[in-house]
Each structure stands twice: as structure tokens, then as C-alpha cells.
């Protein structure tokens, strides 16, 4: 940059040629860049524009830009809604709980699968399969085949023990969702951690073993520090995806009973396609973006702190 | 050389392909969005008959579940997306769409395309169903399928318990019989009723209970009247009934779940859509199922609902004439004859035409037909509540805000049915949510 910007008027031909080559490169890459800007930023810009409206889809006359007063009204409307805090809490609770559960289970399974044993390949494939199912498909499966109080596997199991069949989705809706989503996401964490474990050089481990490290010490001082990067990636990706959990809630609980399982994405869906309020739905969308960034920044901060402590 | 010969040999085939392409482009494509209900699936399967008779039209289908369909077609209409030439709209949506100028008036189309409407006989449509599709006196969609609600019960179970069902039961009698039949140890529930949250799920039967207990959603100006003693009595009654004498997991039960229980003889009775009777007739418990009218409470009004699925043509369509020809075909009495021929009389779409119910073959194949017709004709969307309401509708209120309010209240009621909150709490919170929505919309 420094060289080329100073030589714009210079007589030398070499920098000019370099510049023209650079311009050509820029020109050639511009379609891709414009495409990227369009597909990533236009929906976001539209969301912001819609937040300035009071558009009810079923009332065409209400469409149109209403100015700053409207976005203030929209924000006031959602922030003064008594359900708002509950929805935010549900979103964070669901995300954090699933991250913790999947992390612990994923780590256990990864350690289990690292050592060779007969049938390991089969066990690995079976453990991965929940992640390969589409969210809506696995939700339908859990709701109808597993948890249905009259026809499900759980009803049959309860009957074996002579117990009254209960509908878990009704008695503990949030826990059911957390369990089902964790079931689905554990393989994801397991896969990443397994890759991490397998990249740990055998001689490091051997050296630690010769130095007299037991299994706990080995895990705490050799395996865990080595896995730090992998853990960060797994957790970060999980948080990004889990903040957007929708299919399972849509299929299993429709956000209820009451608001017990309504998270932010589901609330946006209700606002847009149940109440038809595009203005408030988009305002919720902005809140969701802010929340996602806050949670991710917080996670990164915590992880950095940990790294400093460990260093 | 060889390649040249090869090409020459293939030339006629290529020419033929090009001509075929030219014919294909001369066809007009009509895109239809519809619901994945059994009757609509039959329509799609039999549509080749229409295509054979109308070689200039090619049909394209988008078949979705009710909720997804509604959000797809409504969004499309609101933003002027023009994706569809025919949409399936419910009894709740049709007049709202007409008011927004999103649908062509059927009356106008019939006047401008008399040959397509020839022999259609608009007067044969059931008046109760047809009147629900009017906006400003003009018809905006034609009914493909119509239903009301009534009581279905397992007569064998009642006989064994020494009980009998009156022709017109009251909700008190229903509760009494249900709790006598209730036998959870043997996997038999006294009564199965919907509890799954949604304005078209649990709120459909619950609203009929509210109506007949003297309650209603709004007053005549649109002020919500949810936080009232009538609602409290209705919801408390419903909650007590499903908790004491219903199957486990009421908040997971809607039409398909209830149908499964009833058809395996695992529930004593069921108050739901008349269309269920047709499904039950062919089931395991089919021979035991008998029918009675929808139960009444203190106010003999609005205790049976009225719903229809209808075909309309969006104003954004660029194949209006072709679309009109199709909807005239699919809702005609000829189509009903065609289904009867191909699939039997029990499978014809119910609740649209008087002539269907006059057929002896239909009466024989569907013993519940007379009762269905009576229920549909008795349901009056214009007079379903004790006091006047802001807009018509039996189990819904025909205003744009109803779907949102209905879904929100449905969730709160499900929470009360599950026993997590009291009925008072549910109604108080529902009232507040409804007031906010109606005030935002500027009703008062």
C-alpha cells in the first residue's frame, strides 16, 4: 500500500504495471465480492428497514416506512412486553445447558472411542448417527415414537414397571427439549474432540507416563491443554447454532405450554407468522443479532481468560 | 464421417424433441397451493383427468401442512409474490383476503367466463358454507370441502358400562358418561379432546365450549372479553374433564392423535370435526362408532363449528382463465361423481353441495351424512355467541388479529390444562395479550 500510493505519478513503469495487475485482480474478484455483500447484507438491511414499519401482513395499508418514531415504538413494545425477559432467559438457558451437557458427554465418548477396541468403527458410526438426522425428523421421532404417552416407547416402559404413563413433554417441556437437542449435538462435540485427541503425539503421552503421570494428571495437564483449541471451536460453533434452535421447538412443543419453551427464534416466528407483525418481528430480529454477538463475545472472553490462567 | 452419419441418423429424433418442446411451451402452467389433507391429496391424484380434458393446461402442485401453507400463501400475497394461480384458503382467511383485494371475485369471473362456469350450479352449494366466503356480498372462493363438529362415541364401551348417549347431549351428560367409562388401568380414556396449543388445534373445540357457556372472544367493538366468569366456567370445565377423564398428555393431543386413540378403541368418546367420522368408519373400532350432536351448555348457540377449505384465485395470477376452469372442475358435482367412481362414495369431499347429500349411494356409504349436514346447516357464523361479536365466525373470529391472539391464548390454556398455572392466571394473561394486540391494531 505504502509503495504504490506514493508512486502513482512516478515515471517508473514497474509499479504501474503492478498496480494495473492488482486492479485487474480486484476487478475480477469484484463479482464474488458483490455477490457476497448482496446475499449476506441485504436480508440484514431489510430487517432493519422493516423494524421501521408497523406492517401487519394482513393489512396491506399498514406497510411503509414510518420513521424513527416507529422503531422506538417497536422497541418499547417488545421491551415492555412482560414475556420478553422470559424469552431471553429461555434462549440462554437452552443454549448454555445444551453446551454443558454435550461438552461433558462428547468428551466422555471421545475418550472412550480413542482407544481401539473390537467394534469401534461400528460404535463410532452409531454414536454419530443422531447428528446426521435432520432436526425436524428427529423431533418427530422423539415426539411420536419415544415420548408419546399412549403409543410411545416411554409409555410401554412405564407400563412394564406398572407405573402410570406420563407425558414428559407436558410435565417438563424445557428439559425434554434440552435432552433431545443434547442427544443430537453430542456427536458433533465428540467428533471434534476425537479429532483433537487423535492429533496428540503418542510420545508426549509416553513421556508424561514415564514421568509418573496417572490418568487424572494426564487428563488435566496433557490432554486438556492440548484440546483447548478444539474445545473453543466446538463450543463457539455450538453456541452459534444453538441460539437458533427452531425445528425441535416447532415440532415438539410449539413453544409451550405457555411460554415455557419459547426461545428468541421461535418468538420471531410467532411474531411474523402467527401475529403477522413484521415490524415487531424484525425488531426482535435485531435483538437476536445483538444477543448472539453478546453471548459469543462473552464466551470468547471466558475462554481467553482461561488461556491466560493456564499459560 | 462416422460422427456425421450418426448425427444424420439422429436428426429426426432431435426434430421430434424440438416439436415436443414447442408443444410444451404452448401449455399454460397453473400452480396450485393446497393443504395435505386426504381430500386434497385425492384431488391431486385425480387431476390427470382434468389435464387430459384440457391439454392446454399443465398443473403444478405445492402441497403443505395447514400452518406452513397459510404462512407461505399469505406472505406471497402480501408482498405481491405471484407464485400461485390457485390458493387453498380457509373459512377464516377468505373474507380477509377478499377485503385486501388479494383474490378475484368468483361472481365476476363467472360473469366474464360463462363457458367455464356453465352447469356449475352455485345454488347447489351449502348456504352456510357459501355465506362464510362472502365479502361485501361477493363470493371470493369456492368450497372444496366443508365440516362441522359433533360427538363420536364407542357404543360398545357404553353398552358394556350400561350407559346410553342422548341424541343431543349436554356437556354435563358428556362429562358424566366420560368419567364412568374412564379406565386408565386398561388403557381406555373416558373422553379424548384436543389440548395441543394452536387456534386451529385446541381452541377450535374449546371456543365452541366457550360459546355455549355464554362466553365470547370480543364484544361488538373488538374489546377482548377473555377475563370473564363465562370463560372461567368453560375452561375450568374443560380442564377438569380432560384431566380427570382424559388420556395422559393432553397438551400433545390434536386431531391425528385423538383419531389414533379413538380408532383403536382406546377412548370412549370424542367431540371433533365431522370429517373424522369417515376416517373412523374404516378403522379397527369402526363398527362400534356411533354419532350424536355436538354437546350444548347453558347457551344453545355456537356449540358446533363450521369450517371449509376453499379454492381461490389470487389477483396476481397470470393464468386467471385457466385457473378458473380448474376450480370450477374441482368443486363441481361432476368431480364428486368422479371421486365416487374412482374411490367410492365414502371418499367424496363432504360438506359442499346439497346434491351430494341427496344421493342414496352417499347416505348408504356414509351413515353419518345426515347428521353432518344438519350440523353444518345449524352452525351460524353470524350468530354463534350470546352477545354480538366484532366479526363473524363460530370457532374463530374473522379479524386479522385473531390468529395471533388465538395462538397466544391457546398456549396459556394449554399451560392451564397441564396444571402449571391456574385458569385465572391463564385468562388474566390472555386478556392482557389480547388487549395489547387489539389496541395496537387501533380497534379502540
| Element (DSSP H or E) covering residue B159 | helix B155-160
Q: Does B365 touch chain A (CB under 8 A)?
A: no
Put simply, the answer to whether A258 touches B411 (Cβ < 8 Å) is yes
Q: Is B250 an 8 Å CB contact of chain A?
A: yes
The number of beta carbons lying within 10 Å of the beta carbon of residue B226 is: 27
Instruction: List chain B residues with CB under 8 Å of A149.
Output: 247-249, 252
Do B20 and B117 lie in one domain? The reply is: yes
- Residue B36's pLDDT band (cuts 50, 70, 90): confident
What is the distance between the alpha carbons of residues B362 and B372, in angstroms, rounded to a whole number? 12
Q: Are residues A86 and A7 part of one domain?
A: no
CB B190 within 8 A of CB B179: yes
* B376 domain residue, yes or no: no
Let me know whether B106 and B218 are in one domain: no
Contact status, residue A277 vs residue A284, Cβ threshold 8 Å: no
> A231-247, pLDDT tens digit by residue?
888 988 999 899 999 99
A vs B, Cβ pairs < 8 A, gives 107
Which pLDDT score is estimated for A7?
42
Q: Residue B266, Cβ neighbours under 10 Å: how many? A: 20
Average pLDDT, chain B: 89
pLDDT tens for each residue of B180-211: 999 988 889 999 999 999 998 999 999 999 99
Does any domain span residue B369?
Answer: no
Residues B192 and B209 in one domain: yes
Mean predicted confidence (pLDDT) in B313-336: 93
Residue B43 falls inside a structural domain: yes
B345 shares a domain with B292: no
Give the confidence band of A310 by pLDDT, cuts at 50, 70, 90: low
Residues A139 and A259 in one domain: yes
Q: Are residues B35 and B138 in the same domain?
A: yes
Averaged over B1-15, what is the pLDDT? 51
Which is nearest to B376 in space by CA: B311, B309, B307? B307
Could B197 and A257 be called an inter-chain contact, meaning their C-beta atoms sit closer than 8 Å?
yes
Q: Which of B364, B391, B410 is the last residue of a domain?
A: B364
From A150, A166, A274, residue closest to B266, measured CB to CB: A150
- B183 and B282 fall within a common domain: yes
N residues, chain B: 444
Whether residues B170 and B42 fall in one domain: no
Task: Please check whether residues A35 and A164 belong to one and the same domain.
Answer: no
Burial class of A129 by CB neighbour count within 10 A (0 to 12, 13 to 18, 19+): exposed
Q: What is the pLDDT of residue B269?
A: 95
Average pLDDT over residues B392-414: 93
- Asked if A49 and A161 sit in the same domain, the reply is no
Are residue B353 and residue B319 in the same domain, yes or no?
yes
Percent of chain B with pLDDT over 70: 94
Q: Which residues pair with B224 in a beta bridge?
A: B218
The answer to whether residue B37 scores a pLDDT higher than 80 is yes
B284 min Cα distance to partner chain A (Å): 16
**Domain co-membership, B32 together with B137:** yes
A31 lies in the same domain as A113? no
Same domain, B164 and B285: yes
Our count of domains for chain B comes to 2
pLDDT exceeds cutoff 60 at B7: no
What one-character DSSP code corresponds to residue B28? E
Whether omega before A257 lies within 30 degrees of 0, making that bond cis, reads yes
Same domain, B45 and B78: yes
Q: Is residue B370 part of a domain?
A: no
Q: Is the pLDDT of residue B23 over 70?
A: no
The answer on A56 and A39 residing in a single domain is yes
With 50 as the cut, is the pLDDT of residue B292 above it?
yes
Residues of B in contact with A165 (CB under 8 A): 248-249
Residue B16 has pLDDT above 80, yes or no: no
B29, part of any domain: yes
Q: What is residue A153's predicted lDDT score, i.e. its pLDDT?
A: 87
The interface predicted TM-score (ipTM) is 0.81
Is there a contact between B153 and B292 (Cβ–Cβ < 8 Å)? yes
Cross-chain Cβ contact B411/A58 below 8 Å:
no
Query: Between A60, A77, A170, which is nearest B251 by CB?
Result: A170
Highest mean pLDDT among A296-300, B14-18, B260-264: B260-264
Element (H, E) at B138: strand B138-139
| One domain for residues A249 and A280 | yes
pLDDT computed for residue A229 by the predictor: 85
CATH number at residue B6: 3.40.190.10
User: DSSP H helical segments within chain A, as ranges?
Assistant: 2-6, 13-51, 68-79, 84-114, 120-132, 135-140, 153-160, 168-171, 173-198, 202-210, 215-217, 224-242, 247-252, 264-273, 278-310
pLDDT of B10 above 80? no
CA distance A57 to chain B (A): 6
- Does one domain contain both A110 and A44? no
Cα–Cα dist A223/A195, whole Å: 12
Contact A232, A301 (CB under 8 A): no
How confident is residue A9, by pLDDT bands cut at 50, 70 and 90?
very low
Flag if B411 and A149 touch (Cβ within 8 Å).
Answer: no
Give the pTM.
0.83
**Domain coverage including residue A143:** 82-310
Q: Which residues of A lie closer than 8 Å to B, measured between beta carbons?
A: 56-60, 63, 77, 81-82, 143, 148-151, 155, 164-167, 169-171, 254-260, 270, 273-277
Distance CA B122, CA B119 (A): 9
pLDDT class for A3, splitting at 50, 70, 90? very low
Q: What percent of chain B has pLDDT over 90?
A: 70
Domain presence at residue B377? no
Distance CA B191, CA B154 (A): 10
The tens digit of pLDDT for each residue in A79-97 reads 888 889 999 999 999 999 9
The contacts of residue A216 (CB under 8 Å, 6+ apart) are none
User: For residue B134, is pLDDT > 60?
Assistant: yes
- The owner of cell 397459510 is B70
pLDDT in tens, A122-171: 999 999 999 998 888 889 899 888 888 878 888 888 888 877 777 888 88
Confidence grade of residue A222 (pLDDT, cut at 50, 70, 90) = confident
Q: Tell me the CATH number at A276.
A: 1.10.3720.10
Among A73, A97, A129, which residue terminates a domain?
A73
Q: Total structural domains in chain A?
A: 2
Indicate the average pLDDT of chain A. Answer: 85
Boundary-marking domain end, from A73, A91, A124: A73
* Out of A60, A257, A273, closest to residue B418 by CB: A257
Distance from CA of A163 to the nearest CA of B (A): 10
- Shortest alpha-carbon distance between residue A120 and chain B (Å): 39
Q: Which residue in B357, B347, B361 sits closest to B377, CA to CA?
A: B357
Q: Write out pLDDT tens, residues A32-74.
A: 889 988 888 888 898 999 989 888 888 888 778 888 888 888 8
On whether the CB atoms of residues B145 and B350 are closer than 8 A, the answer is: yes
A109 shares a domain with A42: no
pLDDT at B415: 92
Contacts of B415 in chain A (CB under 8 A): 256-258, 260
pLDDT for B9: 55
Q: What is residue A10's predicted lDDT score, i.e. its pLDDT? A: 46
Q: Are residues A140 and A235 in the same domain?
A: yes
Lowest-confidence range among A106-120, A214-228, B107-121?
A: A214-228
Residues B414 and B313 in one domain: no
- Same structural domain, A68 and A94: no
pLDDT over 70 at A4, yes or no? no
Section B172-177 average pLDDT? 94
List alpha helices for B193-302, DSSP H: 203-212, 229-245, 255-263, 275-281
Q: Which of A63, A170, A258 sits opposite B252 (nearest CB)?
A: A170
Same domain, A29 and A125: no
Which pLDDT score, from 0 to 100, does residue A13 have?
Answer: 56
Q: Higher confidence at residue B13 or residue B288?
A: B288
Boundaries of domain holding B11: 2-146+307-364
Domain boundary among A41, A73, A105: A73
Amino acid at each position: 500500500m505504502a509503495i504504490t500510493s506514493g508512486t502513482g505519478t512516478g515515471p517508473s513503469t514497474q509499479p504501474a504495471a503492478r498496480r494495473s495487475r492488482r486492479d485487474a485482480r480486484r476487478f475480477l474478484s469484484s463479482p464474488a465480492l458483490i455477490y457476497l455483500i448482496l446475499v449476506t447484507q441485504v436480508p440484514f438491511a431489510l430487517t432493519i428497514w422493516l423494524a421501521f414499519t408497523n406492517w401487519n401482513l394482513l393489512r396491506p395499508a399498514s406497510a411503509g416506512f414510518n420513521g424513527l418514531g416507529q422503531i422506538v415504538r417497536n422497541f418499547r413494545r417488545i421491551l415492555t412486553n412482560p414475556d420478553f425477559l422470559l424469552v431471553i432467559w429461555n434462549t440462554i438457558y437452552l443454549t448454555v445447558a445444551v453446551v454443558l451437557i454435550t461438552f461433558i458427554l462428547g468428551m466422555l465418548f471421545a475418550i472412550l472411542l480413542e482407544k481401539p477396541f473390537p467394534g469401534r468403527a461400528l460404535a463410532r458410526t452409531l454414536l454419530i448417527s443422531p447428528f446426521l438426522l435432520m432436526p425436524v425428523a428427529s423431533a418427530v421421532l422423539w415426539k411420536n415414537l419415544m415420548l408419546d404417552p399412549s403409543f410411545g416407547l416411554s409409555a410401554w416402559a412405564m407400563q412394564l414397571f406398572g407405573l402410570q404413563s406420563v407425558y414428559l413433554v407436558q410435565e417438563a417441556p424445557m428439559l425434554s427439549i434440552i435432552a433431545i437437542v443434547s442427544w443430537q449435538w453430542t456427536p458433533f462435540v465428540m467428533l471434534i474432540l476425537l479429532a483433537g485427541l487423535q492429533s496428540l503425539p503418542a510420545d508426549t503421552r509416553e513421556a508424561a507416563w514415564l514421568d509418573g503421570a496417572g490418568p487424572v494428571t494426564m487428563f488435566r495437564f496433557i490432554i486438556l491443554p492440548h484440546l483447548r483449541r478444539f474445545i473453543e471451536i466446538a463450543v463457539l460453533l455450538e453456541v452459534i447454532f444453538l441460539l437458533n434452535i427452531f425445528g425441535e421447538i416447532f415440532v415438539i412443543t410449539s413453544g409451550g405450554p405457555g411460554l415455557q419453551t419459547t426461545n428468541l427464534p421461535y418468538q420471531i416466528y410467532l411474531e411474523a407468522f402467527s401475529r403477522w407483525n413484521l415490524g415487531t418481528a424484525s425488531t426482535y430480529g435485531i435483538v437476536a443479532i445483538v444477543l448472539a454477538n453478546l453471548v459469543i463475545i462473552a464466551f470468547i472472553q471466558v475462554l481467553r481468560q482461561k488461556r491466560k490462567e493456564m499459560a | 464421417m462416422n460422427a456425421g452419419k450418426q448425427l444424420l441418423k439422429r436428426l429426426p429424433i432431435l426434430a421430434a424433441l424440438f416439436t415436443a418442446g414447442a408443444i410444451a411451451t404452448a401449455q399454460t402452467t397453473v400452480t396450485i397451493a393446497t393443504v395435505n389433507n386426504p381430500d386434497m391429496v385425492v384431488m391431486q391424484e385425480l387431476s390427470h383427468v382434468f389435464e387430459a380434458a384440457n391439454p392446454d393446461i399443465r398443473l403444478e402442485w405445492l402441497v403443505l401442512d395447514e400452518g406452513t401453507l397459510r404462512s407461505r400463501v399469505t406472505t406471497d400475497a402480501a408482498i405481491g409474490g405471484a407464485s400461485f394461480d390457485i390458493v387453498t384458503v380457509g373459512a377464516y382467511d377468505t373474507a380477509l383476503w377478499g377485503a385486501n383485494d388479494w383474490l378475484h371475485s368468483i361472481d365476476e369471473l363467472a360473469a366474464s367466463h360463462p363457458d367455464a362456469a356453465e352447469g356449475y350450479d352455485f345454488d347447489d352449494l351449502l348456504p352456510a358454507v357459501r355465506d362464510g366466503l362472502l365479502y361485501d356480498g361477493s363470493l371470493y372462493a369456492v368450497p372444496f370441502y366443508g365440516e362441522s363438529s359433533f360427538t363420536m362415541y364407542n357404543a360398545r364401551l357404553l353398552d358394556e358400562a350400561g350407559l346410553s348417549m342422548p341424541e343431543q347431549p349436554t356437556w354435563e351428560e358428556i362429562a358424566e358418561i366420560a368419567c364412568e367409562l374412564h379406565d386408565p388401568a386398561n388403557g381406555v380414556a373416558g373422553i379424548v379432546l384436543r389440548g395441543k396449543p394452536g387456534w386451529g388445534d385446541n381452541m377450535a373445540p374449546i371456543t365452541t365450549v366457550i360459546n355455549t357457556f355464554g362466553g365470547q372472544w370480543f364484544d361488538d367493538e373488538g374489546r377482548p372479553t377473555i377475563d370473564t366468569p363465562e370463560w372461567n366456567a368453560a375452561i375450568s370445565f374443560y380442564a377438569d374433564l380432560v384431566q380427570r377423564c382424559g388420556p395422559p398428555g393432553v397438551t400433545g393431543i390434536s386431531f391425528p392423535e385423538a383419531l389414533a386413540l379413538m380408532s383403536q378403541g382406546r377412548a370412549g368418546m370424542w367431540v371433533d370435526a365431522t370429517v373424522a367420522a369417515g376416517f373412523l368408519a374404516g378403522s379397527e373400532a369402526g363398527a362400534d362408532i356411533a354419532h350424536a350432536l355436538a354437546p350444548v351448555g347453558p347457551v344453545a348457540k355456537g356449540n358446533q363449528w363450521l369450517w371449509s377449505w376453499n379454492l381461490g384465485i389470487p389477483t396476481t395470477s397470470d393464468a386467471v382463465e385457466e385457473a378458473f376452469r380448474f376450480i370450477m372442475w374441482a368443486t363441481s358435482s361432476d368431480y364428486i361423481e368422479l371421486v365416487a367412481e374412482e374411490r367410492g362414495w365414502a371418499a367424496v369431499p363432504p360438506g359442499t353441495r346439497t346434491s351430494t347429500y341427496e344421493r342414496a349411494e352417499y347416505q348408504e356409504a356414509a351413515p353419518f351424512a345426515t347428521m353432518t349436514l344438519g350440523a353444518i346447516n345449524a352452525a351460524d357464523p353470524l350468530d354463534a355467541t350470546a352477545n354480538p361479536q366484532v366479526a363473524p365466525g363460530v370457532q374463530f373470529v374473522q379479524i386479522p388479529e385473531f390468529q395471533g391472539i388465538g395462538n397466544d391464548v391457546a398456549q396459556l390454556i394449554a399451560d392451564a390444562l397441564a396444571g402449571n398455572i391456574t385458569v385465572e392466571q391463564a385468562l388474566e394473561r390472555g386478556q392482557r395479550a389480547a388487549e395489547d394486540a387489539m389496541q395496537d391494531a387501533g380497534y379502540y
